[in-house]
Amino acid sequence: AKAEGAGSTTVFDAAMHDRVRERIELEVSLRQALESGQLSVAYQPIVDLATGVPAGAEALVRWTHPERGPISPATFIPIAEEAGLITALGDFVRQESLRQLGEWRADGTVGDAFYVSINVSGRQLTDPRLALMVSSEILRYGVPARCVAIEMTESVLVDASGVPGRVLFELRELGCQVLIDDFGTGFSALGYLRRFPITGIKIDRSFVIGLGQSPEDDEIVRAVVTMSYALGLTVIAEGVETRLQRDALAAVGVTRGQGWLWGPAVPPAEFARHWHVAGTA
């Protein structure tokens, strides 16, 4: 039994060793990716349910590893956070997407109200320069602040006292939208809706999946929407894949959705080609 125990410990150590090595390798290549331009930004339309016209787009980072091909942000964002690379990554995504929005506004791909929604992780909100950088970038690229949305998860707000809180108020003061991402998946109470200058929520895909089929999901979303509108918040439904879901969302008063029903995140040229005419609304 003793030998067996020792054996399985060795196997465990080997597996753990592989995982650690894998993580370090990814960290090293991510560092190189940031420096050598392997990262890009893809855009997923955020669509007006009634018209099917995009009101904006979410900017989602993409990484194509030279040997391994595309790596999911769900894999490398946590590594970027732990390795202290998230600020550089976030700077890249923000600058690139604001530059792109400026270009699309100038060439008529999108209309005057079209906005870009940018993900920030908690670590980025501890950077006191964030609002200053946004304000200088929107000047540089000729983008109004109302066309910039910043998305963060509820968990970021649980302990967002100090600098993160101040940065949010500064962004709001500038005129940016402040959105709660993955709404409903955090374990926090709703107090942050009063404490921080939130302008809207994005209902997580997990609540959208059963819409039109599960009366409970319909009621949860209906209650969330009623509360949000009473508080003056905008509402976006995430992960909309079917017309059944879209119709159930419209029935409870949701006006904006995002999901494969309209299209995945795509490179900017493809986004412009696909959405050009519609986007000028």
What residues line the site for ligand C2E (CB under 6 A)? Answer: 44, 60-61, 72-74, 77, 90, 93, 119-121, 181-182, 205, 239-241, 259-260, 264-265
Could you give the C-alpha distances from 141 to 47, 97, 98, 111, 228, in angstroms and in order? 24, 10, 7, 15, 32
Binders of Ca ion in range 139-158 (CB under 5 A): 151
| For helices 73-82 and 2-36, angle between their N-to-C axes, nearest 10 degrees | 90
Q: Could you say whether residue 218 binds Ca ion (CB under 5 A)? A: no
When the beta carbons of 218 and 238 are compared against Ca ion, the nearer one is 238
User: The tokens of 233 are what?
Assistant: 């918040």
Q: Which of 233, 236, 234, 230 is nearest to 262 (CA)?
A: 236
- The item of Ca ion, ligand C2E, none sharing an interface with residue 93, based on CB under 5 to 8 Å by kind, is ligand C2E
- The item of ligand C2E, Ca ion, none sharing an interface with residue 176, based on CB under 5 to 8 Å by kind, is none
Closest separation between CB of residue 2 and ligand C2E, Å? 45
- The item of ligand C2E, Ca ion, none sharing an interface with residue 256, based on CB under 5 to 8 Å by kind, is none
User: What is d(CA 83, CA 96) in angstroms, rounded to the nearest whole number?
Assistant: 22
User: What is d(CA 123, CA 256) in angstroms, rounded to the nearest whole number?
Assistant: 28
Pairing of strands 54-65, 69-71: antiparallel
When the beta carbons of 109 and 119 are compared against ligand C2E, the nearer one is 119
When the beta carbons of 29 and 97 are compared against Ca ion, the nearer one is 97
Closest separation between CB of residue 75 and ligand C2E, Å? 9
When the beta carbons of 154 and 182 are compared against ligand C2E, the nearer one is 182
Q: Which of 220, 255, 259, 254 is nearest to 239 (CA)?
A: 259
When the beta carbons of 9 and 116 are compared against ligand C2E, the nearer one is 116
Pairing of strands 148-153, 200-203: unpaired
User: Which residues form the interface with Ca ion (CB under 5 A)?
Assistant: 119, 151, 181-182, 238
